[in-house]
A and B are shown apart, each in its own frame.
Chain A
Amino acid sequence: MIQTLFGTVEKEPSLLERLKAGVEKTRSGLVSALDTAVHGRKEIDADVLDDIEYTLISADLGVRTTEEILTRIRDSAERHQLNDAGEIKGLIREQLLEILAASERAPARVEEPPAVVLVVGVNGSGKTTTIGKLAHRFKNEERSVLLCAADTFRAAAIEQLEIWGERTGSPVIRQSAGSDPSAVLFDSLNAARARKADYVIVDTAGRLQTKENLMAELQKMSRTARKVIPDAPHEVLLVLDATTGQNGLEQARKFTETSGVTGIVLAKLDGTAKGGIVVAIARELNLPIRYVGVGEKIDDLLPFDAEKFIASLFE
């Protein structure tokens, strides 16, 4: 079952296969590299640990998470729970699953539509594309979707969203470029109510998390949303580029502080052997991952499931 804002829907039968295809790069980067690191070695010595450290750091897991994993390997080896370098992979798999599963959380159920999904992130992380794919996904769940073009800053952002609106058959509420994003949001929510839309997906302008005035703008948008729908936004998704390094942690931290992120979308995972930053985010900020983007096609956005995800990597 897949949890949505309106309860559960049937799980996609081919999810594991599609995930596998999508994370092929990561599998070859992380898991195959681990295989190479322990291949033909029996003893767990400094060399093996060195190679493993290299592999984990290279996958953007971050120094802290990597150290933690290495400490566990060392401890287990000392206590003779781990006797063979070949067993290390299993231990790492276990730990990754543990971290990712610990932060998993179903979204809060929305009793009465419209459910408002605010999509935020730094410039170029893939927000608009993710929104297009999300709209497609919700449509397939037989829900009506309304898109809100609240990125009024970037050149042609509105046009880009409108193209996605056409592709997915979702109406787009827009104003002219440069207008107040909160005003567009206000209009959109009222329109969604009037048209009885199930979902409103709100596209916001990309912003670096250090720009305080822009972060304040997001807070204003949330306040505006609450004026129309008291418990909105129901979901705040932070779109993260899978190639992002340790800065991803800062992004997640600051966006959560200011706009109450409820979940992560890991975009562009198909292009990179990395994406380890989500492990660090799950571990340090306890934020669930909601979706992973695994390709350029409209249905290349898959729901995240820790167990399936790890399985697709390690099997």
Chain B
Amino acid sequence: MFDNLSEKLQRVFKNLRGEGKLTAENMESALREIRMALLEADVNFRVVKQLIENIKVKATGEEVLSALSPSQQVIKIVHEELIKILGSHESKLRFANESPTVFLIVGLQGSGKTTSTGKLARWLSKNGHRPQMVSVDVYRPAAREQLSVIGREIGQPVYPGAAEEKLPLDLARSARREAVNSGRDVLLVDTAGRLHIDDQLMTELQDLKGQLNPVEILFVADAMTGQDAVKSADEFHKRLGITGVILTKMDGDARGGAALSIRHVTGQPLKFVGVGEKFDALEPFHPDRAANRILGMGDILSFIEKAEEAIDKKQAFEMQRKLIENDFTLEDFRDQLRQIRKLGPLQNILGMMPKMGILKELKDAKVDEKEITHVVAIIDSMTPRERANHMIINGSRRRRIAKGSGTTVQEVNQLLKQYAQARKMMKSFSGGLLGRKMGKMKLPAGFPFGEMPKF
């Protein structure tokens, strides 16, 4: 998320680092590059223009602090401006006083409405709600079928609709009745995708709004959208008064400029971002953290939250003790890998790390999830004695382990070598910082599990 944009901006800041102070000249080229980076991230042209103007005024105006270096100054200013656009804190979903609360999910075709509806239902149910879903997309082939399948998968009810119910309004009304009868407190209405220029369908949405009185009208936007993001969001906002945005497909390499633009133009907050194919891959949006991420400061807060969710504290503490006492066996190694996996895809986790300093190299560390599976399999194929003491693993044991785990002797050798290296390195860890070597090393030895318990 935002990685590309972040990288580009980093370069700008780096170039400024050598400068003694901010002048009109060095700002000029920095601003040009910031502008380019933002435009290539698909931030709307007008938004960019205004952002650059604001940065310029601030940087050359009286707010310049002599205590900071020029690059720090620019980072600070850009950060402030980003926060200004994105908002400063998370904006939560609102709920009606009287159940069921109705959420209307709207957006262009292919933006990810149906998937987001499922993800949102899942998120709601995890957060103490009892959602009911209904698809009123009577146009796209198999659209309603799609939501039913999703409902079954996540174990949340979808109103199926009776045979004679062919109109979106009828479907929605019956679904609400159903929600009341079955004690559901939130009704998610998945609507048909439409172009913002489609008058008839927009009117249909307005009717739905009038009848259902939704508390939230969530506009689903594709993170890969270009300059058009603003226009469609604006049009939906004018016709319906959207109350929030779900930005989807943020797990790709989209630079997420649309996030900035939509917020700026509609004034409505981003509430969620979709970050993966699985139904739990929907996260509340934290603008402050996103700004940090755009500027390469990492998103340690999200990382900590994730780690807290997935990692057993006692175990982590125990691990730390073992590391310090150099009592770290292959078995511990495997447990650690399993815990890391619980955090989600490794690439996502690495994305949360600050890009400054040593950790920057980690970004290029090739993350191969399969490799971890192999390593775990190899360790699984060892006897308890071998796991406790890797020194006894000789050639014939290696062959047996390779056979048992479906890998090759080379892979077993590699693992043992990496493990030995990791042990050695952890011994020298007491200082706390990661060795420079780590970024260049292949996983799993390259992953900073030694640092984990500290967060």
Contact = CB atoms under 8 A, between A and B. Distances in A.
A25 B235 CA distance: 15
Contact of A246 (B255, B277, B370): B255
Contact of B227 (A60, A126, A177): A60
A58 interface: yes
A63 B48 CA distance: 13
A243 B145 contact: no
A271 B193 CA distance: 12
B413 interface: no
A164 interface: yes
Interface in A228-278: 241, 243-248, 250-251, 268, 270-274, 276-277
Contacts of B251: 208, 210
A134 B369 CA distance: 37
Interface string A191-215: 0000000000000000011110100
A163 interface: yes
Interface residues of B, number: 49
Contacts of B111: 124
A159 B142 contact: yes
Given A54-B45, A245-B224, A123 B142 contact: no
Given A244-B224, A247-B253, A277-B226, A156 B142 contact: yes
Interface in B157-201: 195-198
Given A271-B197, A274-B228, A123 B112 contact: yes
A271 B45 contact: no
Contacts of A58: 45, 227
Contacts of B195: 268, 270-272
Contact of B145 (A54, A159, A164, A208): A159
A156 B222 contact: no
Contact of A25 (B147, B149, B197): B197
B153 interface: yes
Interface in A130-158: 153-157
Contact of B225 (A63, A243, A250, A276): A243
Interface string B90-127: 00000000000000000011111011000000000000
Given A63-B39, A63-B40, A268-B195, A122 B108 contact: no
Contacts of A248: 224, 226
Contacts of B109: 124, 126, 268, 271
Size class of the A contact interface (CB-based, 8 Å)? 35 or more
A57 B252 contact: no
Contacts of A245: 42, 224-229, 257-258
A163 B141 contact: yes
B252 A160 contact: no
A177 B153 CA distance: 12
B108 A271 contact: yes
A125 interface: yes
A246 B41 contact: yes
A243 B142 contact: no
Interface in B250-277: 251-255, 257-258, 277
Nearest to B368: A212
B150 A155 contact: yes
A210 B143 CA distance: 26
Nearest to A54: B45
A288 interface: no
Contact of B110 (A60, A126, A160): A126
The 5 A-B pairs with the shortest beta carbon distances in the complex, nearest first, are A245-B226, A124-B110, A271-B195, A245-B42, A155-B149
8 contacts: A57-B45, A58-B227, A163-B142, A208-B251, A241-B225, A244-B222, A268-B110, A271-B198
